[in-house]
Amino acid sequence: MGKSPSAVTKWRILFACIAICFIGFGILFARLFKLMIIDSEEYQRQAAENQLHITTIAAKRGSILDRNGNKLAMSTTAWTVCVSPKEIKDANEKALIISGLSEILGVKEDFVREKCERNNYYQVIKTRVGKDLAEEVIAFASNNGIKSIYLEEDVSRKYPYENFAATVIGFVNDENTGAYGLESYYNEILSGTSGKLVSAKDSWGQDMPFEYDELYSSEDGNSIVTTLDEGIQYFVEKHLELAVKEHSVQQRAACIVMDVNTGAILAMATKGDFDPNSHTTLPESVKEEILKLPEDEQAAATLEAQYAMWRNKAISDPYEPGSVFKIITLAAALDSNTTTIGDSFTCIGHANVADRKISCWKTFGHGTQTLAEAVQNSCNPAFIEIGLNMGVSNFENYFEAFGLTEKTGIDLPGEATSIYYTNGMTEINLASSSFGQTFKLTPIQLVTAVSAAVNGGNLYKPYIVSKVISEDGSIVEEYEPTLVRQVISEETSKTVRQILETVVSDGSGRTAAVPGYRIGGKTGTSEKLDQTNSEGKVDRYVSSFLAVAPADDPQIVVLLLLDEAQMENPYGSVVAAPVVGAMLGDILPYMGIEPNYTEAELEAMTGKVKDVTGSLVHDAMTVLRLQGYSVTVVGDGSVVVAQSPEAKSELSAGGTITLYTDESLIPKEIEVPDVLGMSVTEVNNAIIGAGLRLKLIGVSESATNQVAYSQTPAAGEMVMPGTIIEVCFTLKSDETEGDG
């Protein structure tokens, strides 16, 4: 039998047990202390995260308005369609959900199937679903007894005018955050603050058996009021889109209308553009080209095409301004007194500068010309002389003073700046720069500088948002015009305006004229010197025109540029000026500026309607506008195939002529009714009722029983709707006076 432990051993064992217990409980207490005291807040937070379900309540994004309160972008109620995979009863219901939601929402079945096979209670199938589709989903779930489909209310961004001012307004991304344009620049103001609904849930996502709900309300965003005018923007976009078609413009077109006295942007457009409601959708022609690429290159090409489509050409793309820049050279030369209104210039078809020959567009020269004539003729050698007389120092000082060495600071994202000589300008640089070549400006820089040249010399910072308003319409913040500096004198500016007016009345800008209005302007045809063909020659051009209206009291400046118009003659006078003239013909009356016709204009308005069939629409508009007629275009084509009234018809000034660009839309000819022997009232009813126009001849207001005795065209002839029928009247025989 072994020995029992000695008393010492027992004490050692007892001591060891006590020590182990002490150490163990000490560690336990230390751990509990750390968990319950030191780290308690962190574990409470983690527990709350596991037990609380947070539902985000989207804030309503503020609207984007034009200056008259028209909504260009707005938020509307939408829904998020969700499915609860854990609540799907069986395989049959799953299959029904997959096919049904796929068809209604236009999503792939594989996508819905993957969502339905998740092991949880919440999967999003599609966000920002409109009312009609949401109602279809509800009806589908109700009719099939499906309880695992439900909808959550959300907000969606809506652009009611579709591609209207798209590159200016921009769009929001899938998170309803501004991604481009004003949506991006003013995102913080527009977006507001999202709210939260916090509720207790168990690990399965079900409500806990005790109440816990707390609501943090969302705060809707403020709205912004822009300086854009919906009417002016419409006229600009209408004519710009047509010009792109007429001239097959390859690298897009842009136009800016600015209030010369404040810097406010009244219209800004780029064509082609996009619909912000579906901003990732490319034009079909672009899609077709991308599909021709190897499959592994298509995704990158698609993204590149989208970025190009979203780009605001009016502020983001510097270009060589060409002869439109001569306005700035003219203003600087006059203000620096290096050139005077009485100077003359001789053009022999070229100028020699630093052993280099620089040609004029008129190869045999303009001969001797005044300063005004040099501007009218857009003579490069004359402006080389003007620039060299000014000198490098003066030229650079005015170039900087007009704001052309830096960004304008317009409240839009993506503004670029000029590309200019940074290491000193040489004599040859000065010569080419004087007529707008070998450097680049953005359209917004150029239109801002020209506004200063014609408004009395004041350079304003361009801006496109005038105020921020709350949901109830109260003003949160208001933005006033910002005067940067005075660049030239009022007297110089007046002289510039007078010379620019002669460009439209007597020079290369005649096709921009609008009867009754004094228009100033300058044509531009710039070479894209950095893009040559396989033979090393420049064969790509930017055709442009800048107009000032009214020339005697400027209210607006309009700059239009067509980048790579596909024409044998790409001159701005041929391509761009007629488009700006058509814009001004719509814009100036819309602005409430009354026409004041000269005798020469009134004389030109008399006569018969000219034949414009076969002409490009804007060329036809120019011809008819100068005759004093209004024009309506029917069809989406670019060439006139028919007109009504027909050529050689007599139509008073102010009358409307309809131009047809699609033969399928030309109305059928109308048979002229026989009105001989009818009274004035009967003739009027017969002619107007047939869809024709009536011209009365020989009608006396005091006489009664007047009858028609002659009509032209004759009864039975087939004519176009709207044709004027001349009807001559006389008195019935029983009312004819006797001999004595």
Res. 552 pLDDT band, cuts 50 70 90: very high
Paired with 237 in beta bridges are none
Q: Looking at domain 316-596, which of 3.40.710.10, 3.40.190.10, 3.40.309.10, 3.30.590.10 is its CATH number?
A: 3.40.710.10
**Most trustworthy range by pLDDT among 7-11, 31-35, 514-518, 605-609:** 514-518
Is residue 203 predicted with pLDDT exceeding 50?
A: no
**Most trustworthy range by pLDDT among 45-49, 132-136, 464-468:** 464-468
Q: Which residue has the higher pLDDT, 168 or 34?
A: 168
pLDDT of residue 213: 55
597-666: CATH topology is Trypsin Inhibitor V; Chain A (3.30.10)
pLDDT of residue 216: 58
Per-domain residue ranges of the chain: 11-51, 54-225, 316-596, 597-666, 668-735
- Kindly state the average pLDDT of the residues 569-581: 92
Apex 329 CA angle, 323 and 335, nearest 5: 155
Q: Does domain 668-735 have CATH number 3.30.10.20?
A: yes
pLDDT digits (tens, 9 = 90+) for 624-662: 999 989 899 999 999 999 998 888 888 888 888 999 999
DSSP 514-550: -TTS--EEEEEEEE-TT-B-TTS-B--EEEEEEEEES
Q: Is the previous residue joined to 645 through a cis bond, with omega within 30 degrees of 0?
A: yes
Q: What percent of the chain has pLDDT over 90?
A: 60
Is residue 209 predicted with pLDDT exceeding 50?
A: no
Please confirm, yes or no, whether 323 is among the known catalytic residues. Answer: yes
Q: Give the least confident one: 2-16, 125-139, 351-365, 546-560.
A: 2-16
Helix 91-105, helix 131-143: angle, nearest 10: 160
Q: Tokens 């893009």 identify what position?
A: 531
Q: Give the least confident one: 81-90, 485-494, 584-593, 731-740.
A: 731-740
Dihedral (C-alpha) 399, 400, 405, 409: value to the nearest 10 degrees? Answer: -120
pLDDT digits (tens, 9 = 90+) for 654-705: 888 999 999 888 888 889 999 998 988 899 999 988 888 888 888 877 777 8
Q: Would you say 624 and 657 are in contact if contact means Cβ atoms under 8 Å apart? A: yes
pTM: 0.82
- Kindly state the average pLDDT of the residues 411-421: 94
Res. 739 pLDDT band, cuts 50 70 90: very low
Q: What is the CATH number of domain 54-225?
A: 3.90.1310.10
pLDDT digits (tens, 9 = 90+) for 150-162: 888 778 899 999 9
Is residue 368 predicted with pLDDT exceeding 50?
A: yes
> Hey, do 597-666 and 668-735 end up sharing a CATH topology, with the first three levels equal?
yes
Look up residue 38 and give its two tokens: 């030191």
pLDDT of residue 431: 95
Of 191, 316, 323, 451, the active-site residue reads 323
Q: Which helix (H) or strand (E) holds 52?
A: strand 52-57
